[in-house]
A = this chain, B = another copy of it.
Amino acid sequence: MMGVGVGLIGSGYMGKCHALAWTSVATVFPDVERPRLVALADATPELAQQHAQAFGFGRGTGDWRDLVANPAIDVISIAAPNQFHAEMAVAALEEGKHVWCEKPMATSLEDATRMRDVAKQSGRAAILGYNYIQNPMIRHARRLIAEGKIGTVNHLRLEMDEDFMANPGEPFYWKSERASGYGALDDFAVHPLSLLAVLHGRVTAVVADMARPYPERPTTDGGFRPVENDDIAQALFRTETGASGVLMVNRAAWGRKGRIALQVFGSNGSILFDQERMNELQIYSTDDAAGLQGYRTLLAAPSHPPYRQFIPAPGHGLGFNELKVIECYELLQAISGKRDAHVIDFERGLEIERVVHAMAQSAEGGVWVKV
């Protein structure tokens, strides 16, 4: 049997992450065929060829359309700049390729909607790079919640924070331009929302606020330029079950590096998670005897699939990049026709984008907005 033929567009950090996933997935998961790494596209032929060789791809090209046209390629990884996602994904799907597209889905709701529509018509697997949902601890949390271990979920708090915009002395660059998006809301909110989607359900209403900690930033010529978007955003929300919640994102939060903290409260217990300690999950359960109730820290282990495929011993730890290997595996499942592959496809991805846009709309108007 032959593995799928792979084309990769983009070989920056996320492209490298995809390449690692494609080269590792069959080593890790014994039930998939080793993919054929057919070709890699990047901005220039030279760059493409250099990375094709380093990453183990057959050839490199300066034109991503070569990949779309190549009949040896079954699936296309899109790790190119955000503004090209829609065009590339649509072209690939229309050519009958499966698509693995990095987030954000697109730079406008219109583009995202079109991607969803084309994906639906194509019948191909079309998924987004929401790798945090692949963490075995998140998947374990999902199972525990589904099994009713913490009862009916009634409240959720979601935080995502980093500090790459925290330095007020950092010169103005494109991240602070309005054209790059709302700011923290675009950069971060989709991630905790993807976790909310798999752990709980849909957001139905939001009221949001966005804030600009540094109204202006220095420019390289010694002046100052007004900041055009918001490094901080927060929203109160309600979900389809009536649960209440809070979403907080901050890309200027000194000390936070890769924090995605979840607090999920239910009628019988609660679950805590923080991506900065991605191999741990905390659960409090009223099933425990009185005098013995407390948050229990679970360490990632073979009993939390698919951890066992990586390491047969508990507590040894997976890394961020390995979540992408799991995502790649789930994509292969989806390509094989598995209905309930654990992925965020374009349909669910569009729902997430809608929540983000509702938040932005609410922040502008100062009122609750229905999603």
Instruction: Tell me, rounded to whole Å, the shortest Cβ–Cβ distance linking A275 to chain B.
Output: 8
Instruction: Tell me, rounded to whole Å, the shortest Cβ–Cβ distance linking A279 to chain B.
Output: 8
Given known A-B contacts A27-B19, A270-B254, A317 and B214 have beta carbons under 8 A apart: no
Q: When each residue 137-170 of chain A gets 1 if its CB lies under 8 Å from chain B and 0 otherwise, what string results? A: 0001000000000110011010100101011100
Q: Which of A58-66, A71-79, A281-289 contacts B (4 or more CB under 8 A)?
A: A281-289
Q: How many copies does the complex hold?
A: 4
Q: When each residue 309-338 of chain A gets 1 if its CB lies under 8 Å from chain B and 0 otherwise, what string results? A: 011111111111110000000000000000
Q: How far is the CA of A291 from the CA of B285 in the complex (A)?
A: 14
On chain B, the residues within 8 Å of A190 by CB distance are: none
Q: Chain B CB within 10 Å — which of A34, A208, A252, A296 has the most?
A: A296
Q: How far is the CA of A16 from the CA of B24 in the complex (A)?
A: 10
On chain B, the residues within 8 Å of A254 by CB distance are: 150, 265-270, 284, 286
Q: How far is the CA of A16 from the CA of B292 in the complex (A)?
A: 28
Q: Are A283 and B292 in contact (CB under 8 A)?
A: yes
Q: How far is the CA of A319 from the CA of B248 in the complex (A)?
A: 27
Residue A299 interfacial (CB < 8 Å): yes
A13 interface neighbour in B155, B157, B312, Cβ under 8 Å: B312
Q: Are B294 and A155 in contact (CB under 8 A)?
A: no
Residue A30 interfacial (CB < 8 Å): yes
Size class of the contact patch on chain A: 35 or more
Residue A20 interfacial (CB < 8 Å): yes
On chain B, the residues within 8 Å of A253 by CB distance are: 155, 265, 270
Residue A180 interfacial (CB < 8 Å): no
Q: Are B286 and A207 in contact (CB under 8 A)?
A: no
Q: Are A276 and B299 in contact (CB under 8 A)?
A: yes
Q: Are A311 and B320 in contact (CB under 8 A)?
A: yes
Q: When each residue 1-40 of chain A gets 1 if its CB lies under 8 Å from chain B and 0 otherwise, what string results? A: 0000000000001001001100110111010001000000
A26 interface neighbour in B56, B290, B294, B310, Cβ under 8 Å: B56
Q: When each residue 257-269 of chain A gets 1 if its CB lies under 8 Å from chain B and 0 otherwise, what string results? A: 1110000011111
Residue A120 interfacial (CB < 8 Å): no
A321 interface neighbour in B288, B301, B322, Cβ under 8 Å: B322
Q: Are A244 and B167 in contact (CB under 8 A)?
A: no
Q: Are B162 and A211 in contact (CB under 8 A)?
A: no
Scan residues 173-230 of chain A and give those whose CB is less than 8 A from a CB of chain B: 207-209, 211, 213-214
Q: Are A211 and B244 in contact (CB under 8 A)?
A: yes
Q: Are A317 and B236 in contact (CB under 8 A)?
A: no
Residue A295 interfacial (CB < 8 Å): yes
On chain B, the residues within 8 Å of A43 by CB distance are: none
On chain B, the residues within 8 Å of A13 by CB distance are: 311-312
Q: How far is the CA of A310 from the CA of B283 in the complex (A)?
A: 28
Residue A354 interfacial (CB < 8 Å): no
Residue A172 interfacial (CB < 8 Å): no
Q: Are A321 and B310 in contact (CB under 8 A)?
A: yes
Residue A44 interfacial (CB < 8 Å): no
Q: Are A246 and B244 in contact (CB under 8 A)?
A: no
Residue A234 interfacial (CB < 8 Å): yes
Instruction: Tell me, rounded to whole Å, the shortest Cβ–Cβ distance linking A155 to chain B.
Output: 5
On chain B, the residues within 8 Å of A54 by CB distance are: 26-27, 30, 34
Provide 6 A-B residue pairs closer than 8 Å at the C-beta atoms, listed in order of the A residue.
A207-B209, A207-B236, A211-B244, A255-B270, A290-B303, A321-B322
Complex A-B, nearest 7 residue pairs according to Cβ-Cβ distance, in ascending order = A257-B315, A319-B319, A255-B284, A258-B315, A211-B244, A154-B213, A316-B320
